Amino acid sequence: MTAETATGTMADAPGRWTTRFKRVPVTLALAWAVVFIVLAWAALPSLFAGYSGTEGVPGEQLRPPSAEHVLGTDGLGRDVYARIVYGARHSLSGAFVAVTVGLILGTLLGLIAGARGGWIDAVIMRLVDSMLAVPSLLLSLSIIVLLGFGTINVAIAVGAVSIARFARLARSEVVRVRRSEYVEAAYGSGGTFWAVLYRHVLPNSLTSVIALAALQFGSAILAISTLGFLGYGAPPPTPEWGLLIAEGRNYLSRAWWLTAAPGLVVVLVVLSADRISKALGRTAP
């Protein structure tokens, strides 16, 4: 046994994990920081904002950023920073619903297609292909028209559009894993179809899918904001980020901070989700 331990070239692998944790790249740390701050906004907005997200202060309209109003005020005297903080809950929960819908339904479809193969695979994947053929904005708009307006409906629509992407990725991962020898070995040791699916195929295909979910989280925020901007989302007093940008549009020449501030937040969150997704994708064994 001693001879073999000597040839163990990867015997120090557990050590590498600890060093990996010690040296998280700066950009990744920043990305997580952004996400945590935004999550905290969504959880406890009153802790971060001194003003109400919906009630304006009379006589304080269109104030530029100052010590009192960090990001200025809008046309009704509402603090822009407070609106962004209160809006986090709407935008994030929307993105969360969207990603959950896409992740669960898409992965399920991909899993079935990849694991079963044959005509089931063909039918599912052609459906997915036709979903991808339609521009995503058009598809979400059609779904919203069917479901009706509102934050949750917008989220579901955005999520439904991403089902195709999840399904394709999940299928290709499942097919890859299914061909591996450890899956065959699991069948060979008497594993049933479902046992093998649950023990080996699902966990080994999920890494990339989770990475896509993080990426999709960013684009969902963007898509929801887009639909909010177009007026399909939450009704006006709601401080949803897309709506904030849309409302600011009328004052673009006089009050740049109305669009710039929420826009910047959206960009930062999307970029952070992107960065985290990249890091998650790398942890695949």
Partner 1 sequence: MTVTPILQVDDLAIAYKTGDREQRVVHGVSFSVAPGEVVALVGESGSGKTTTAQATLGLLAGNGRVESGTIRLNGTDITNWSQKRLDSIRGAVVSLIPQDPGSSLNPVRTIGSQLAEVLQIHKRGDRRAIHARVIELLERVGLTPAEMRARQYPHELSGGMKQRVLIAIAVALNPALIVADEPTSALDVTVQRRILDLIDELRRESGTAVLLVTHDLGVAADRADRLVVLQNGRIQEQGGVKEVLAAPRSAYTRRLLADAPSLGKPRPARPGIESQDFAIEVTGLTHDFTVTGGEAKSFRAVDNVSFKVRRGTTHAIVGESGSGKTTAIRSIVGFIKPTAGRILVDGVDLTTLKGEKLRQFRKHIQLVYQNPFGSLDPRQTIARIVEEPLLNFEPIPAADRARKVRDMLARVGLSESFLERHPRALSGGQRQRVAIARALVLDPRVLVLDEAVSALDVTVQAQILSLLDELQKTLGLTYLFVSHDLAVVRQISDTVSVMHKGRQVDGGPIETVFGRPDSAYTRELIDAIPGRSLPVPGVPVLAVPSENPPRLSP
Name which of residues 178 to 217 contact partner 1 (CB under 8 A): 180-182, 184-192, 195, 199-200, 203-204
Residues 6 or more apart whose Cβ sits within 8 Å of residue 66: 72
Q: How far is the CB of 117 from partner 1 (least distance, A)?
A: 15
Residues 150 and 234: beta-carbon distance below 8 Å: yes
Which residue, 176 or 278, has its beta carbon nearer to partner 1? 176
Contact status: 4 vs partner 1 (CB under 8 A): yes
Which residue, 46 or 283, has its beta carbon nearer to partner 1? 283
Q: Which two tokens stand for residue 151?
A: 């934050």
Q: Which of left, alpha, beta for 137 (phi over 0: left; psi -120 to 50: alpha)?
A: alpha
Contact status: 24 vs partner 1 (CB under 8 A): no
Contact status: 283 vs partner 1 (CB under 8 A): no
Contact status: 9 vs partner 1 (CB under 8 A): yes
Q: Give the dihedral sign, CA 223/94/54/266.
A: negative
Contact status: 18 vs partner 1 (CB under 8 A): no
Give me the residues paired with residue 73 across strands. Answer: 79
Residues 267 and 31: beta-carbon distance below 8 Å: no
Contact status: 119 vs partner 1 (CB under 8 A): no
**Residues in touch with partner 1 (CB under 8 A):** 1, 3-11, 13-14, 16, 19, 180-182, 184-192, 195, 199-200, 203-204, 285
